[in-house]
Amino acid sequence: MHLNFVIGYKSFEALPSSADLPNFMVVTGANGSGKTQFLEALNVGAFTGDWDRSVDQTLLLSAAQLGEPVFELSAQEPRRAVVERFKAQVDGFLRPNGYRRTSDLEGIYENLRLSFGISEGAMRAAEAHAGKPIEEWQLSDFELWTPFELGHGFFGMAVTDAFTRYQAMLTANDFRAWRASQGKAVDAWLTEEQFQSAYGPPPWDLLNEVLVHLALPYEFVAPPMDLDNGPFSVRLRSLADGFELAPADLSSGEKTLLQLALSMYSGTHRAQVSRIPKVLLLDEPDAALHPSMVRSMLAVIREVLVERLDMRVVMTTHSPTTVALSPDDAIFVMERTGVERLTRASKDAALRRLLVGVPAISVSAENRRVVLVESPNDARWYSSIYAVIQPTLSSERSLEFVAAGGSGLADGCDAVVGLVHKLRSNGNLAVWGLVDRDNRHREPSDSVIFNDEGYSIENLLLNPLAIGLLLLSDSHAAAVTAVPESRFVEFRPVDAQALVDAVSAHVLGDAARGVTQTMRFAGGLEIEVPSSWLSGRGHDLHDLILEKLSWLRRYAARDRLIDSVVSRVLAQYPTFVPMSVVGTVRRLLDA
Mean pLDDT of 558-587: 91
| Separation between Cα atoms, residue 291 and residue 253, nearest integer Å | 10
Strand order in the sheet with 398-403: 398-403, 368-373, 431-435, 448-450
| Separation between Cα atoms, residue 534 and residue 38, nearest integer Å | 59
Structurally, how many domains does the chain consist of? Answer: 3
pLDDT band at 69 (very low <50, low <70, confident <90, very high): low
| Separation between Cα atoms, residue 28 and residue 354, nearest integer Å | 8
Looking at the structure, tell me whether residues 202 and 281 fall in a common domain.
no
pLDDT band at 201 (very low <50, low <70, confident <90, very high): confident
pLDDT in tens, 473-521: 888 877 778 888 888 878 899 999 999 999 999 999 988 888 999 999 9
Q: Report the pLDDT value the prediction gives residue 11, as an integer from 0 to 100.
A: 94
What does the mean pLDDT of the chain come to?
Answer: 83
pLDDT in tens, 161-181: 678 777 877 888 888 888 888
Q: Report the pLDDT value the prediction gives residue 360, as an integer from 0 to 100.
A: 34
114 is a domain residue: yes
Q: Report the pLDDT value the prediction gives residue 362, as an integer from 0 to 100.
A: 35
Looking at the structure, tell me whether residues 243 and 331 fall in a common domain.
no
What is residue 135's three-state secondary structure?
helix
Q: Report the pLDDT value the prediction gives residue 551, as an integer from 0 to 100.
A: 85
270 pLDDT exceeds 60? no
Looking at the structure, tell me whether residues 281 and 202 fall in a common domain.
no
> Can you give the three-state secondary structure of 276-309, one letter per residue?
CCCEEEEECCCCCCCHHHHHHHHHHHHHHHHHHC
Looking at the structure, tell me whether residues 305 and 439 fall in a common domain.
no
| Separation between Cα atoms, residue 367 and residue 403, nearest integer Å | 20
| Separation between Cα atoms, residue 452 and residue 542, nearest integer Å | 19
Measured distance between the N- and C-terminal CA atoms of the chain, rounded to whole angstroms: 49
Q: Which domain holds residue 438?
A: 367-591
| Separation between Cα atoms, residue 167 and residue 227, nearest integer Å | 9
What are the strands, taking DSSP E only, across 278-358?
279-283, 312-316, 331-334, 342-344
173 is a domain residue: yes
70 pLDDT exceeds 70? no
Q: Report the pLDDT value the prediction gives residue 359, as an integer from 0 to 100.
A: 39
Looking at the structure, tell me whether residues 213 and 304 fall in a common domain.
no
| Separation between Cα atoms, residue 456 and residue 436, nearest integer Å | 5
- From residue 141, give the alpha-carbon distance in Å to each of 137, 149, 248: 5, 16, 38
Q: Alpha helix (H) ranges present in 54-118?
A: 63-66, 79-94, 107-116
pLDDT in tens, 461-474: 999 999 999 999 88
Looking at the structure, tell me whether residues 142 and 22 fall in a common domain.
no
Higher pLDDT among residues 451 and 58, named by residue: 451
Last residue of a domain, one of 354, 382, 411: 354
Higher pLDDT among residues 268 and 389, named by residue: 389
pLDDT band at 102 (very low <50, low <70, confident <90, very high): low
210 is a domain residue: yes
68 is a domain residue: no
φ/ψ bin of 389: left (φ > 0), alpha (ψ from -120 to 50), beta (otherwise): alpha
Contact 399, 585 (CB under 8 A): yes
Q: Would you give the distance in Å from CA 314 to the centre of its chain? A: 21
% of residues, the chain, pLDDT over 90: 34
Looking at the structure, tell me whether residues 385 and 498 fall in a common domain.
yes
| Separation between Cα atoms, residue 519 and residue 389, nearest integer Å | 18
pLDDT in tens, 24-33: 999 999 889 9
Looking at the structure, tell me whether residues 350 and 375 fall in a common domain.
no
262 is a domain residue: no
Mean pLDDT of 357-365: 41
* Residues in contact with 532: Cβ distance below 8 Å, sequence separation at least 6, in sequence order: 508, 511, 514, 515
Q: Report the pLDDT value the prediction gives residue 358, as an integer from 0 to 100.
A: 44
What's the one-letter identity of residue 407? S
Strand 24-28, strand 58-62: pairing: unpaired
Least confident of 160-164, 363-367, 451-455: 363-367
DSSP for 144-158 reads: HHS-S--S-BSS---
pLDDT in tens, 210-238: 888 777 889 999 888 766 656 677 889 99
Last residue of a domain, one of 293, 328, 354: 354
Nearest to 274 by CA among 160, 148, 117, 70: 117
Mean pLDDT of 80-86: 81
Higher pLDDT among residues 550 and 79, named by residue: 550
Contact 155, 266 (CB under 8 A): yes
Looking at the structure, tell me whether residues 453 and 503 fall in a common domain.
yes
| Separation between Cα atoms, residue 103 and residue 441, nearest integer Å | 83
Looking at the structure, tell me whether residues 247 and 379 fall in a common domain.
no
Looking at the structure, tell me whether residues 543 and 434 fall in a common domain.
yes
359 is a domain residue: no
344 φ, ψ (degrees, to nearest 5): -70, 145
Domain of residue 327, CATH code: 3.40.50.300
Looking at the structure, tell me whether residues 118 and 217 fall in a common domain.
yes
Last residue of a domain, one of 292, 320, 354: 354
* Residues in contact with 560: Cβ distance below 8 Å, sequence separation at least 6, in sequence order: none
